[in-house]
A and B are shown apart, each in its own frame.
Chain A
Amino acid sequence: MAFEFELPNPNTVNPTTTLSDADLVRRSASSVPEPAKKLTPVAKLIDVSKCIGCKACQSACLEWNDKRQDVGVFAGSYDNPADLTPDMFTLMRFTEWVNPETQNLEWLIRKDGCMHCEDPGCLKACPAPGAIVQYSNGIVDFVHENCIGCGYCIRGCPFNIPRISQVDHKAYKCTLCSDRVAVGQGPACAKACPTHAITFGTKAEMQQHAADRIKDLKSRGFQNAGLYDPPGVGGTHVMYVLHHADKPEIYANLPSKPRISSIVEWWKGPTRYLGLAAMGVFAAIGFFHHLVEGPNKVSREDEESAKRLAGGRSAQS
């Protein structure tokens, strides 16, 4: 029987794109009109329990996005490269974890990358109009022609995902293959995954698929198996099935309760409004003070007094 969520091969006859500016629900440092119709939310589900660590997803990602990662150096683990880079949008992070209950060594492999938050911190921190957008299907995308390379998205992101290129000074991250999804395909990583550890579909389908997987895992003794779809960021459009969902941090520091940093909220909220207001108040006080008080002028008597004081004396320094 064919796999339920097998991704279709590309339609090469008159492909039509379903993602355009009319589908935007958020646009950084600017506003967009409410879209006439909303697309069905999509999601990528990463089943950590089925991952074999082959890195086909990384290869597919590099190939589809036409990126090349420099040959690196061995940094003590199977992670290659050692971290996400402006070219490597997704990364398998390997963790050797000793389960304290069973004393078994568990090899945890998590495919890291953009989570496509429903409440995207990167977009909220971005100062450049239209450099980060969110589509009604949930995809958060960087629009590089509008990116100014400030790195504010890095401060906004609760997952440490965006990377700034030192070549063109623009921010890069996983696009959820928005260009493929736009023509009815799924992400390159999901297409390449040989074990269906990565699947793609509507968010509802993926939640149902996850529920089936979690049931299966629980039947095999993983009592804490669960779905990672963190509510602190409004849910995500990249979700994980974790066999130890009660301890997400053991999977290479996956945050247990991610949310946009309160420092970022203070910076983008009260500081901005109160700051601009304070400048306006200072300028207005000056304006009205001058209006009411008039200029503070030196009088004739002041000059005469100065002359009497300095009179007859020679210049000195």
Chain B
Amino acid sequence: MTAYDVEPGDSVHPGDPVTVDRYTGWARVNHWITATCLVLLALSGLALFSPALFFLTDLFGGGQVTRAIHPWLGVILFFSFAGLFIRFWRANLWKAEDGTWLARLNAVLTAHEERLPEVGKYNAGQKAVFWLMSILIIILISSGLVMWDQYFYGYTSIEQKRIAVLVHSMAAVAIICVWIVHVYAAIWVRGTVRAMTLGSVTGGWAWRHHRKWLRELVGGKTS
């Protein structure tokens, strides 16, 4: 029996430096399929969102192809993200220390980790990204199906299609902003990206940012 936030495959390897396995190969494959779809969806979606960005349709082979491919990318992303959701939802459950962490956002942004509570595998920021992505993807796939005239035109009224396109564009703006936070955090907090490329982080990284998780892994017991 492990702690709520210790995921299958997480383990500590003594050495210099200590390394900590954070993501399995399949988790990383799952993540990068989702990431690729999200980037392609953002590019093709923005092309149809603003005339100033219509040139992005050239990346996909023209406007007709962009229009046709965007919803299919959305379907792939939906199922791919569902895989991530099943993997990660437990470790992203909200805990008491998350409130404290979030309340001291100033310390977070100024890199004063010593003023923050010890957190598990994910901090409150990562949990917020996870749940916002989950909710926004459900909104996007639902409104997207209403907009997918090629197959579903007859199932909704024009007024419902108008609402769907407004909701879809607002949710898309929101998810792109969440994505910017996600990518920026991974870049700013050095040593993070290797978790999704190599699958492991250094012990020092885990000590600095996810000490509770590291202690649980070392202790190997329920916290």
* Interface 1/0 per residue, B97-141 and A, CB below 8 Å: 000000000000111000000000000000000000000000000
Complex: A312 Cα to B16 Cα, angstroms: 12
B14 shortest CB reach to chain A, Å: 5
B206, A306: Cβ atoms closer than 8 Å = yes
Q: Is B181 an interface residue (CB 8 A)?
A: yes
Q: State which size class the interface on B falls in.
A: 35 or more
Of B32-40, B80-88, B185-193, the one touching chain A: B185-193
* Docked complex: B161-179 residues within 8 A CB-CB of A: 161-163, 165-166, 169-170, 172-173, 176-177
B165, A267: Cβ atoms closer than 8 Å = yes
B14, A311: Cβ atoms closer than 8 Å = yes
Say whether, besides A279-B177, A306-B206, A295 and B190 are in contact (CB < 8 Å).
yes
Q: Is A154 an interface residue (CB 8 A)?
A: yes
B12, A316: Cβ atoms closer than 8 Å = yes
Q: Is A305 an interface residue (CB 8 A)?
A: yes
Complex: A1 Cα to B111 Cα, angstroms: 92
Q: Which residues of B contact A129 (CB under 8 A)?
A: 51, 54
Q: Which residues of B contact A299 (CB under 8 A)?
A: 204, 208
Q: Is the interface of B mostly helix, strand, loop or mixed?
A: helix
A293, B109: Cβ atoms closer than 8 Å = yes
Q: Is A101 an interface residue (CB 8 A)?
A: no
Q: Is B58 an interface residue (CB 8 A)?
A: no
Q: Which residues of B contact A127 (CB under 8 A)?
A: 47-49, 51, 54
A169 to B, closest residue via Cβ: B64
Complex: A150 Cα to B170 Cα, angstroms: 18
Q: State which size class the interface on A falls in.
A: 35 or more
Q: Which residues of A contact B217 (CB under 8 A)?
A: 316
B219 shortest CB reach to chain A, Å: 9
Partner of B9, one of A155, A264, A317: A317
B67, A275: Cβ atoms closer than 8 Å = no
A257 shortest CB reach to chain B, Å: 15
Q: Is A36 an interface residue (CB 8 A)?
A: no
* Interface 1/0 per residue, B182-223 and A, CB below 8 Å: 001001111100000000001111111000001101101000
Say whether, besides A263-B162, A298-B204, A307 and B67 are in contact (CB < 8 Å).
no
Q: Which residues of A contact B57 (CB under 8 A)?
A: 148
Say whether, besides A310-B203, A317-B9, A169 and B51 are in contact (CB < 8 Å).
no
Complex: A127 Cα to B57 Cα, angstroms: 11
A290, B188: Cβ atoms closer than 8 Å = yes
Of A6-14, A90-98, A241-249, A281-289, the one touching chain B: A281-289
* Interface 1/0 per residue, B6-25 and A, CB below 8 Å: 00011111101110010000
Q: Which residues of B contact A293 (CB under 8 A)?
A: 109-111, 188
Q: A152-B48, A278-B177, A289-B109 are in contact. List 14 more A-B contacts (CB 8 A).
A: A148-B62, A149-B64, A154-B161, A169-B64, A261-B159, A267-B162, A267-B165, A271-B170, A278-B173, A282-B177, A282-B180, A296-B189, A299-B208, A316-B220
